[in-house]
Amino acid sequence: MAEMDTSSHDSGKKGPGVKKGKKLSTRVDLTPMVDLGFLLITFFMFTTTMSQPNSMHLNMPDDKKNIDPNKVKESGAITIMLGKDNHIYYYFGQDLKPDMSNVESSNYKDIRKVLLAKKASTPPADLFVIVMPGKESTYKNIIDILDEFSIDLIDTYALVNKVDPVYTADISKLDSLSTQ
């Protein structure tokens, strides 16, 4: 480990004319300390569990079925529009009325009741949910609604990647009405 030279040739005499012994510097060998450091690093690397990546299961359509993806039954369709400040707007059916009289407002706590009621009143093969995020919605809003689908066991939904500018204007209009 460490070497120290403590040999001194002291004759026990003190006083004038006696030569003082030369002091030797102490030398510490750090090689074992470095070895110990590397052993500790490798020990902790091998015994540490790495964090597991979290992912969400995404249901993909079956490639073998020849189903027209644009064909959705009017009775089973529900469209959810994500607005700013965690507001959710939804309407049943495929068409949004020009005066937006069929649009209802909700939040992330109450949307579960709406989805479960729609699921209970619709045959499983007919239920289809469309999600349209607005310009003011956040990534967290999309993840929250997808989590809600997972909790409610809703397997058939579509996330609209690029929302039509007309619908974006409608979502902005609904956001401005909800803040008043």
- pLDDT one-digit tens code per residue, 7-49: 555 555 566 766 777 777 788 888 999 999 999 999 998 888 7
* Alpha-carbon distances, residue 158 vs 60, 78, 82, 89 (angstroms): 10, 11, 13, 16
- Torsion on CA atoms 96, 69, 141, 92, rounded to nearest 10: 30
User: In the CATH scheme, what is the code of domain 74-178?
Assistant: 3.30.420.270
The DSSP element (H or E) to which 46 belongs, if any, is helix 31-47
Tell me, what amino acid is at 121?
A: S
Among 133, 126, 119, smallest CA distance to 162 is for: 133
Based on the number of CB atoms within 10 Å of its own CB, is 27 exposed (0-12), middle (13-18) or buried (19 or more)?
exposed
Domain ranges of the chain: 74-178
Convert the pLDDT of each residue in 127-180 to its tens digit: 888 888 888 888 888 888 888 888 888 888 888 876 667 677 777 777 777 665
In this predicted structure, what is the pLDDT of residue 43?
93
The pairing of beta strand 157-159 with beta strand 128-133: parallel
